[in-house]
């Protein structure tokens, strides 16, 4: 996942994931907590409890994600269950900077893996970069597959 600066950001806890989603709702959509409460159709104390205790009902997570304009909570839960999260390609042609970033991450992950197996690298950092590289490769794989589908203007003007 990417923040507005283009940098990868994966939350390290469920509480951080809720904080990142709420921050995105405020920054990108100008939706303060009060407006989120109203749009989710709940009262202040219920919404506050859901977010502060990280106990939002599963039936409300998608609504929360859509209103926030980000999916940190959903992605965190999927990753915590051992799943690889890949964004669905938009069908845009990859830029040189996209491919360069992926290549730089390949180099970084190889270095971190070598250090990890010698006991000199942090587990969470190694997994974070490894997940990012796997997501980038899977994204481009899906983008290439979608070139034959007419609804995507992959190489058009």
Q: Are residues 19 and 67 in the same domain?
A: yes
Q: Are residues 32 and 70 in the same domain?
A: yes
Q: How many domains does the chain have?
A: 2
Q: What is the 3-state secondary structure (H, E, C) of the chain?
A: CECCCCCECCCCCHHHHHHHHHHHHHHHHCCCHHHHHHHCCCCHHHHHHHHHCCCCCHHHHHHHHHHHCCCHHHHHHHHHCCCCCCCCCCCCCCCHHHHHHHHHHHHHHHHHHHHHHCCCCCHHHHHHHHHHHHHHHHHHHHHHHHHHCCCCCCCCC
- Domain end, chosen from 55, 80, 105, is at 80
Q: What is the span of the domain harbouring residue 108? A: 96-148
Q: Do 100 and 72 share a domain, yes or no?
A: no
Q: What is the tens place of the pLDDT at every residue in 78-99? A: 989 988 787 776 667 788 998 9
User: Both 21 and 70 in a single domain?
Assistant: yes
In this prediction, residues 14-39 reach a mean pLDDT of 96
pTM: 0.66
Q: Do the domain assignments include residue 90?
A: no
Does any domain span residue 106? yes
Task: Tell whether the model's pLDDT for residue 75 goes beyond 50.
Answer: yes
Mean pLDDT across the chain:
86
User: Is residue 62, in this structure, part of any structural domain at all?
Assistant: yes
* Model confidence pLDDT, tens digit, residues 96-155: 998 999 999 999 999 999 999 999 999 988 988 898 898 888 888 888 877 776 554 555
């Amino acid at each position: 996942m990417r923040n507005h600066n283009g940098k990868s950001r994966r939350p390290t806890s469920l509480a951080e994931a809720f904080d990142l989603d709420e921050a995105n709702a405020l920054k990108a959509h100008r939706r303060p907590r009060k407006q989120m409460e109203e749009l989710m159709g709940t009262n202040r104390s219920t919404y506050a409890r859901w977010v502060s205790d990280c106990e939002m009902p599963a039936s409300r997570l998608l609504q929360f994600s859509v209103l926030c304009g980000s999916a940190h909570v959903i992605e965190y839960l999927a990753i915590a269950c051992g799943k690889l999260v890949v964004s669905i390609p938009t069908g845009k042609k990859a830029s040189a900077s996209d491919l360069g970033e992926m290549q730089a991450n390949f180099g970084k992950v190889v270095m971190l893996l070598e250090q990890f197996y010698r006991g000199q690298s942090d587990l969470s950092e190694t997994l974070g970069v490894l997940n990012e590289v796997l997501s980038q490769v899977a994204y481009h794989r899906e983008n290439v597959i979608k070139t034959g589908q007419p609804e995507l203007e992959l190489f058009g003007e």
